[in-house]
Amino acid sequence: MSKPFLEVDGLSKVYPDGQGGELTVFEDIRFALEKGEFVCIIGHSGCGKSTILNVLAGLDEASAGNVVMNGKEVKGPGLERGVVFQNYSLLPWKTALNNIVFAVKARWPGWSKEKVREHSERYLKMVGLEHAMNRKPSQLSGGMRQRVSIARAFATQPELLLLDEPFGALDALTRGVIQDELVKIWEETRQTVFMITHDVDEAILLSDRIFLMSNGPNARIAESVKVDIPHPRARATIFQNPAYHKTRDYLVDFLVNRSGSALPEQDGSPKVVEPAKGIAQPEPAAAEPETKSETAARAVNA
Amino acid sequence: MASLNIRAALLSVSFLIVALGLWEMATQPPEAQTGMSEYEMLMGGADQESRVPPPSAVIKLAWAELSNPFYDAGANDKGIGIQLAYSVYRVLTGYLAAMAIALPLGFLIGMSPLMYKALNPYIQVLRPISPLAWMPLALFIIQDSDASAIFVIFICSIWPMLLNTAFGVANVRQDWVNVARTHELGPIKTALTVILPAAAPTILTGMRISIGIAWLVIVAAEMLVGGTGIGYYVWNEWNNLDLASVIFSILMIGVVGMLLDLALGKAQKLVEYKE
Ligand SMILES: Nc1ncnc2c1ncn2[C@@H]1O[C@H](COP(=O)(O)OP(=O)(O)O)[C@@H](O)[C@H]1O
Ligand SMILES: [Mg+2]
């Protein structure tokens, strides 16, 4: 069997607990990503999702374990891994366009000025912001800033895109619109994406697989849930697919009832789960009264 | 808010007129007396000369000085423009030299906690020293009064720039540094394209404080070293008991100081950004 595109092996993070002892935030994290996959990771706050993502980005170091991408160990940050941070991280003294130009120039130092600009404008257009090209981040709304930040990450065409709760700070309406845009860009580019979210619906809409993380300390990636819904997906119609509800119920149940105790396989790899197996055919959806789990899901979303 | 501006301008002008009027009235020569007192006879009437001149006299002098500011009639008789130019030259030379050292050193201290800890004790001891206290040492070592004045400017303007640069650089948001790191910018590129623009407003604040201090100090320094410059000019006119010239040059010191501050203020506007 050929090596996977990205392999994470036995990652753990230990902090001193302030009383002379140690606190293991997460341990023995193992998973692999294939090229072109969109994978989301969900888990309760503080279990270490951002830390894992920062280790993949090369911005943080794990206490043990290693990350191998394309057969090379990840040792520091690099252009082949693009990052979108929750707080946008645009350079406030540069215009929207120049924030992208900055990244494109760093990625392809040999390109001519015109080529850099043309390429940057194309990606700004993809997120519908050509009219706001010359505005500074302070003159943009939160949603527009996050779009610039997404355009910047996609523009450098990294082999792996890392998104840390990119829509966490946005209102529900804006979040929906940008999710649609992300779906669109992803369908076009088929980048490999690893994304943190706390929104179950967002995870189902976007991912091929969803990693479920147990609670810390000593958190693990316990399960890998397959999302059996064909691409292209759309936010407006995905609700009609019965696989959607099965998957959603499964995720919510995990987060509400099982995240404290769930464990991965004996060998440390996440348990593979296919909650919607065998119901690929859409059935007429029965109108159900709102269940307890849906109320809980909203609490998780909030 | 044009009307507010107009009202403020009118008020300013009336304050000026009232102040000048009061000043003029307070400095009228006393009624011509019928005879000189014994004391006045002894003083040869010099009392008249040494009272504070009225604003009309100052304005007359200002007009004369400003209509030919750059005349040069020997060591003790140069135009106000020349004297100010000497002072500005010294301030700028010392200031630029301070910049050349404070900015790179500030970057180093700001980026390296080790350097910060190692250099901080020296900075804390050197900073509160009055710049004029360096003067004797400077005169002894440099053996040149002009260069000593420049050195005093250098030493007084370096601290605000150094500390603000270090503070600004040390407090650049980690997110922006991470943006540089994920885009594989080298240390020099990161310093120039991310840290410098991010810290520029703080650095410029330090530079603005420095130029203000430098202009305060140059007057005192030139009073000490003599020869040329606006500080020397003020002192010299005082020795000549030419109070109209003293008052006029005090005003000019204020005007030039304001212009220097205005220039730095403009520069500050250029590098400002909103988050
Ligand atoms: N410097 C630190 N010292 C001790 N604990 C830390 C430190 N930094 C982070 N942590 C802990 O690591 C855990 C994981 O944080 P994070 O990766 O941000 O979680 P998540 O993104 O899943 O919410 C948190 O519980 C936090 O308390
Ligand atoms: Mg987080």
Is A191 among the domain residues? no
Return the bridge partners of A211, or none. A41, A224
Domain span at residue A48 reads 6-77+160-165+196-301
Q: Which is more confidently placed, A197 or B46?
A: A197
Q: In this predicted structure, what is the pLDDT of residue A106?
A: 96
Binned at pLDDT 50, 70 and 90, residue A298 comes out as very low
**Closest by Cα among A225, A152, A158, A302 to B179:** A152
Is A292 among the domain residues? yes
**Per-residue pLDDT at A296 exceeds 60:** no
Q: How far apart are CA A204 and CA A40, in angstroms?
A: 9
Q: What pLDDT digit, counting tens, does each position of A254-294 carry?
A: 999 999 999 999 888 999 999 988 765 454 444 444 444 54
B229: which DSSP letter? Answer: S
Binned at pLDDT 50, 70 and 90, residue A152 comes out as very high
Torsion angle defined by CA atoms of residues A200, A205, A210 and A213, in that order, rounded to the nearest 10 degrees: -20
A272: which DSSP letter? Answer: E
Looking at chain A, list the stretches that DSSP marks H as alpha helix, in order from N- to C-terminal side: 49-57, 96-107, 113-126, 142-155, 172-189, 200-206, 242-253, 292-301
The first and second tokens of residue A47, run together, are: 């279990």
Q: In this predicted structure, what is the pLDDT of residue A283?
A: 47
Q: In this predicted structure, what is the pLDDT of residue A88?
A: 80
DSSP string, A215-254: PSSSB-EEEEEE---PSS--TTTGGG-HHHHHHHHHHHHI
CATH value at residue A70:
3.40.50
Q: Is A120 on the interface with B (CB under 8 A)?
A: no
Is B41 among the domain residues? no
Contact B206, B165 (CB under 8 A): yes
Is A143 among the domain residues? no
Asked casually if ipTM beats, i.e. exceeds, 0.90, the reply is no
Is A170 among the domain residues? no
Is B57 among the domain residues? no
Residues of A in contact with B273 (CB under 8 A): 92-93, 136, 138
Is A232 among the domain residues? yes
Work out the average pLDDT over B151-165: 96
Q: How many residues does chain B have?
A: 275
**Cβ within 8 Å, pair A79-B178:** no
Is B70 among the domain residues? no
Q: How far, in Å, are A183, A206, A235 from residue A232 at the CA level?
A: 8, 10, 10
Q: How far is the CA of A24 from the centre of ligand 1 (A)?
A: 10
Q: How far apart are CA A183 and CA A231, in angstroms?
A: 10
Contact A168, A149 (CB under 8 A): no
Sheet holding A72-73, edge to edge: A22-33, A6-16, A64-69, A72-73
**Closest by Cα among B91, B58, B60 to B251:** B58
Q: In this predicted structure, what is the pLDDT of residue A288?
A: 46
Q: In this predicted structure, what is the pLDDT of residue A187?
A: 87
Distance of CA B225 to the CA centre of its chain: 17
Domain span at residue B171 reads 80-270
**Cβ within 8 Å, pair A85-B274:** no
Angle at B200 between CA A130 and CA A114, to 5 degrees: 35
Ligand 1 pocket, A216 CB below 6 A?
yes
Ligand 1 pocket, A218 CB below 6 A?
no
> Looking at the 3D structure of chain A, how many domains does it have?
1
Q: How far apart are CA B191 and CA B180, in angstroms?
A: 9
Which of B182, B194, B275 shows the shortest C-beta gap to A77?
B182
Is A33 among the domain residues? yes
Token pair 């005192």 is at which residue? Answer: B220
> Looking at the 3D structure of chain B, how many domains does it have?
1
Secondary structure of residue B201 in the 3-state scheme: helix
Is B89 among the domain residues? yes
Contact A301, A167 (CB under 8 A): no
Task: Provide the CB-side half-sphere exposure for B257 (13 A, CA).
Answer: 17
Q: What pLDDT digit, counting tens, does each position of B31-90 carry?
A: 655 555 665 555 554 555 557 899 989 999 999 989 888 888 887 788 899 999 999 999
Q: What pLDDT digit, counting tens, does each position of B189-246 carry?
A: 999 999 999 999 999 999 999 999 999 999 999 999 888 999 999 999 999 888 999 9
Q: In this predicted structure, what is the pLDDT of residue B20?
A: 93
Mean pLDDT taken over chain B:
91
Work out the average pLDDT over A194-214: 95
Ligand 1 pocket, A66 CB below 6 A?
no
Residues of B in contact with A57 (CB under 8 A): 182
Torsion angle defined by CA atoms of residues A272, A277, A280 and A283, in that order, rounded to the nearest 10 degrees: -130
Is B39 among the domain residues? no
Secondary structure of residue A81 in the 3-state scheme: strand
Is A47 among the domain residues? yes
Work out the average pLDDT over B114-135: 94
Q: What pLDDT digit, counting tens, does each position of A46-102 carry?
A: 999 999 999 999 999 999 999 999 999 999 999 999 999 888 899 999 999 999 999
CATH value at residue B257:
1.10.3720.10
Q: How far apart are CA B220 and CA B148, in angstroms?
A: 13
Is B23 among the domain residues? no
Q: In this predicted structure, what is the pLDDT of residue A284?
A: 45
